[in-house]
Amino acid sequence: MTATVVERPAPRAEQAPDWRGRLRRGLLYALLVFVLLSLVRQITGATDLTSAGTLSAALGLSVPIGMAALGGLFSERAGVVNIGLEGMMIFGTWFTGWAGYQWGPWLGVVFGVLGGALFGLVHAVATVTFGVDHVISGVAINIIALGATRYLSSQLFVGKPGGGVNQSPRVDDVKKVSVPWLSSGYDALGRVEHHRWFLVSDLAGLVRGLTGQLSLLTLIALALLPLSYLLLWRTNLGLRIRSVGENPYAAESLGVPVYSVKYLAVTLSGALAGLGGAFLVVVYGGNYVENQTGGRGYIGLAAMIFGNWHPAGLAAGSGLFGFFDALRLRQGTLAVHALLLFVTIVMGLLLLRAAWKRQWVQGVGFAVIGGLAAWWYFATDSVPTVLVPLVPYVATLLVLAMSAKRLRPPAADGLPFRRGGGG
Amino acid sequence: MSPLAVRRIVLGIATPVIALVMAFAVVWIILEISGFDGWGVFHNMFTTGTEDRYVARAINRAVPYFFAGCAVAVGFRMALFNIGVEGQYRIAGLFAAWLGAQVNLPAVFEISLIVLTSVVVGAAAAALPAVLKVTRNVNEVVSTIMLNFIYGGVGTWLLITYLRDKHAHTVSTQTKALPHSAYFPAADKVLNGIGFQVPKTDPITGLLFVAIVLGILLHLLIKRTRFGFELRATGLNPVAAAANGVNAKAMVIKGMVLSGALAGFVGLPELLSNTHMFVGETFPQQLGFTGIAVALLGRNSPLGIGLGALLFGFLDVTTGSLQLSFNPKLKIPNEMALVMQGSILLAVVITYEVVRRLELRWQGRAVARAAERLAGETGGEPGEPATSTGSAGGER
């Protein structure tokens, strides 16, 4: 050892986050979006843009996406990329359908979670123990999920009442609750919403959508978001999970059982994706149907990336995608058409900001997208029915293109780790 | 030949065999649990699978699998995951079928036009996620999956509103039928000429030869050109490649465009040898995802992909033939092919990884031994080199 110690620049550490500033900015953006939506609703008459029905559906549809995203969060915080979320979610839906029609929705949910966890475990075995490339293992799980569920359905659902090769018999829903007086019974908010006042009615719709007809499963899922935050950032286990994702060799040298932590995180990841699938079956579908997930596992992954590998961010991302998903279900063609005006306005604002900051290249991009949206909005009366289902996917792509540049994944995300391989 | 080289060759042959045996063991267990006769099923698959017409059908199924596998493999070679082959070949096939039906040229030009259109559209469709990755840092796995949905939906919309044959009185939505000049000659004459017996009922597509030529070209491109070298270097160690002057961003665009261009071939057997039109409801689906499995199975080399594609084609047609069986112990559901393909895929991926590790350990040991011998000859300290290679040897 020589006496001179070279002063090395500190490794890119996570900057002490300015939480209050970020929160304020996030709320400001949310408020802006809300006012814009209200405005667009007023102009176009697409009432479902902010109705309680849409927002209630949006909340419901964000739950499966959010659960997949949360699953992705645990896995990637532990350094394992999990593209297999979609497959785990598919298994979640199938197992929920299988157990749910026989023993009731709650046991169905339990089996859905276990089914997802089982394939989370498979992913962990392949990536952690055998060192298979994470994306390859994930893609393999997705391919297997498609074949295996179809095979299992043909064996176990055919011949049952309401069952078939691509669906299970009926599964009952779990209990739904509402806030009395405000959203049910007298329904004060419903009355306000009915008047279509600018902003006021929209706000009433928002609150009513979030307080009326809430499934107990939704409440559980919502509770999981802050719980995950507390687990990951306020407990020893959470610190271990994150340290494994940032620098597994350093963690190993400090005595963290890296393999076990990764196994735990990836299995948990599968369980959460399975819960998302269970939610789709119990609350949305009423039974298991093939292709029920419709790529929500992938969208969840995108929501997590958009949310910068953080529960609050992924909640915002899931809410956004859930909203777009809900819009296409209600008043489909009309609401999506109104959405084009919304996109035009947002692009206009971004163009102004880009011009202010003299970012000409981005400005051109915003202008092109905004121009196309405006042209489409004014040249047509509604969006073709075939294109309406594409909204969540286009939104995912656009939002990622806007935001992916400033993101920071865990440092060892997706890298192979060998016990004792740190030299 | 050194013992290490011998062992490597033996491993190269043994690995796929071990993987297949493992996969079939898994499938056998699944079959037995579901109450089927596992051995009977395998035996039946093998006897029907070697009949001429089933071989011909398996080859016809394998050709598009091969194209899809190659498209995926080009990306995999540089650690670029083009999950979007699915969307790319569908939109490429749609445009090629539509444009080809608008004109009626002599066969050479007609077929060239269709192939070229398909390749260009496929490449363009793949360029979008590449540009998003390079300029906006959007992960290509997520973007190509989203684009699968988007291309699929936009394709359906275009077909219904603009590209459809409006004079066709059919239930299905389709483009105008291609002229006869676009019918690709079958491979039967050539194959019969070199001693094969192609059954009259199941002609083999002439695109088989296109696939073989393309496979050879791809092999040469990857192994013998500067571009191929840069491609592999980027995949193996992007930092080292960049340090040696490889333009990483340009490589992403080039790799993705090449992958998309190859994806343009996937739909061609359907258009040139099969239905000769793009039928919205029946144009083959899921080939992009099968291509991923085939590429992994074939270890990203054209020869391996060809064998993997044949295996998958074989599984397709033989499980299909078992549907006709009168024995309930053998009448497995169609979905079994998917389960088999999935199990084979996972078994193969894991086996290859284990073998790769084993090989590394052997290499480490051999190096350690050689170093010790060298140290003994020069009278140096044997402990020193042995420990420095110890970490490589201990890698597991």
Test B338 with A400 for CB contact under 8 angstroms: no
Q: Is the per-residue pLDDT at B154 higher than 60?
A: yes
Distance CA A242, CA A247 (A): 9
Supply the pLDDT for residue A15.
47
> What does A186-216 look like in DSSP terms, one character per residue?
T-HHHHHHHT--TTHHHHHHHHHHHHSSEEH
Query: How far B208 CA sits from the closest chain A CA (Å)?
Result: 26
By Cβ distance, the residue of B150, B292, B339 closest to A390 is: B150
Q: What is the mean pLDDT of residues B39-58?
A: 88
Percent of chain B with pLDDT over 70: 95
Distance CA B201, CA B51 (A): 13
Query: How far A87 CA sits from the closest chain B CA (Å)?
Result: 12
By Cβ distance, the residue of B83, B338, B391 closest to A139 is: B83
B395 confidence band (pLDDT: 50, 70, 90): very low
Which residues in chain B have their CB less than 8 angstroms from residue A140's CB?
A: 293, 296, 342, 345-346, 349
Model confidence over B338-347: pLDDT tens digits?
778 888 887 8
Decide: A74 and A245 in contact? Cβ < 8 Å. Answer: no
Does any CB of chain B come closer than 8 Å to the CB of residue A143? yes
Does any CB of chain A come closer than 8 Å to the CB of residue B157? yes
B residues 83-102 lying closer than 8 A (beta carbon) to A: 83
Q: Is the per-residue pLDDT at B244 higher than 70?
A: yes
Which residues in chain A have their CB less than 8 angstroms from residue B149's CB?
A: 295, 390, 393
Closest by CA position to A87, among listed A219, A266, A303, A305: A266
pTM: 0.85
Residue ranges of chain A whose pLDDT lies below 50: 1-16
Does any CB of chain A come closer than 8 Å to the CB of residue B357? yes
Nearest residue in chain B measured CA to CA from A303? B142
Bigger pLDDT: A270 or B359? A270
> What does B334-394 look like in DSSP terms, one character per residue?
TTHHHHHHHHHHHHHHHHHHHHHHHHHHHHHHHHHHHHHHHHHHHT--THHHHHHHHHHHT
Q: How many residues does chain B have?
A: 396
Does any CB of chain A come closer than 8 Å to the CB of residue B336? yes
Q: How many residues does chain A have?
A: 423
Does any CB of chain A come closer than 8 Å to the CB of residue B145? yes
Cα→Cα distances A419→A80, A384, A386, B356, Å: 15, 55, 51, 17
Which residues in chain B have their CB less than 8 angstroms from residue A418's CB?
A: 395-396
A residues 58-117 lying closer than 8 A (beta carbon) to B: 83
Closest by CA position to B345, among listed A132, A80, A266: A132
Test A400 with B142 for CB contact under 8 angstroms: yes
Closest by CA position to B95, among listed B150, B144, B151, B146: B151
Model confidence over B215-224: pLDDT tens digits?
999 999 999 9
Distance CA A299, CA A302 (A): 5
Which residues in chain B have their CB less than 8 angstroms from residue A154's CB?
A: 333, 335
Model confidence over B115-124: pLDDT tens digits?
999 999 999 9
Which residues in chain A have their CB less than 8 angstroms from residue B289's CB?
A: 142-143
By Cβ distance, the residue of A147, A384, A420 closest to B338 is: A147
Supply the pLDDT for residue A270.
97
Query: How far A400 CA sits from the closest chain B CA (Å)?
Result: 6
Query: How far B92 CA sits from the closest chain A CA (Å)?
Result: 19
Number of inter-chain CB pairs under 8 A, A vs B? 125
A residues 361-400 lying closer than 8 A (beta carbon) to B: 384, 386-387, 389-390, 393-394, 396-397, 400
Test B395 with A130 for CB contact under 8 angstroms: no
Map residue B279 onto helix, strand or coil: strand
Supply the pLDDT for residue A49.
67
Which residues in chain B have their CB less than 8 angstroms from residue A150's CB?
A: 335, 338
Supply the pLDDT for residue B389.
41
Nearest residue in chain A measured CA to CA from B349? A132
Test B350 with A150 for CB contact under 8 angstroms: no
Nearest residue in chain B measured CA to CA from A408? B137
Decide: A109 and A178 in contact? Cβ < 8 Å. Answer: no
Cα→Cα distances B317→B48, B51, B53, Å: 9, 11, 10
Q: What is the mean pLDDT of residues B266-277?
A: 93
By Cβ distance, the residue of B160, B342, B343 closest to A386 is: B160
Test B156 with A386 for CB contact under 8 angstroms: yes
Test A396 with B160 for CB contact under 8 angstroms: no
Q: What is the mean pLDDT of residues B246-253?
A: 90
Cα→Cα distances A177→A52, A211, A214, A216, Å: 15, 8, 5, 7
Query: How far A321 CA sits from the closest chain B CA (Å)?
Result: 13
Residues 6+ apart with CB under 8 A from B183: B107, B272, B273, B276
Nearest residue in chain B measured CA to CA from A158? B333
Test A143 with B136 for CB contact under 8 angstroms: no
Element (H, E) at B258: helix B248-263
Cα→Cα distances A251→A221, A247, A355, A420, Å: 31, 6, 46, 11
Does any CB of chain A come closer than 8 Å to the CB of residue B354? yes
By Cβ distance, the residue of B132, B136, B153 closest to A387 is: B153
By Cβ distance, the residue of B137, B141, B354 closest to A83 is: B141
Residue written as tokens 């777009």?
A: A324
B residues 31-50 lying closer than 8 A (beta carbon) to A: 34
* Burial of B101 per CB tally in 10 Å (0-12, 13-18, 19+): buried
Closest by CA position to A318, among listed A336, A340, A296: A296
By Cβ distance, the residue of B292, B339, B341 closest to A139 is: B292
Distance CA A388, CA A386 (A): 6
Distance CA B264, CA B271 (A): 12
DSSP state of B204: P
Bigger pLDDT: A260 or B7? A260
**Token pair for A276:** 């998302």
Which residues in chain B have their CB less than 8 angstroms from residue A407's CB?
A: 137
Q: For residue A321, which amino acid is it?
A: F
Q: What is the mean pLDDT of residues B149-170?
A: 90
Test B143 with A420 for CB contact under 8 angstroms: no
Supply the pLDDT for residue B32.
87
B330 CB neighbour count, 10 Å cutoff: 18
Distance CA A291, CA A90 (A): 8
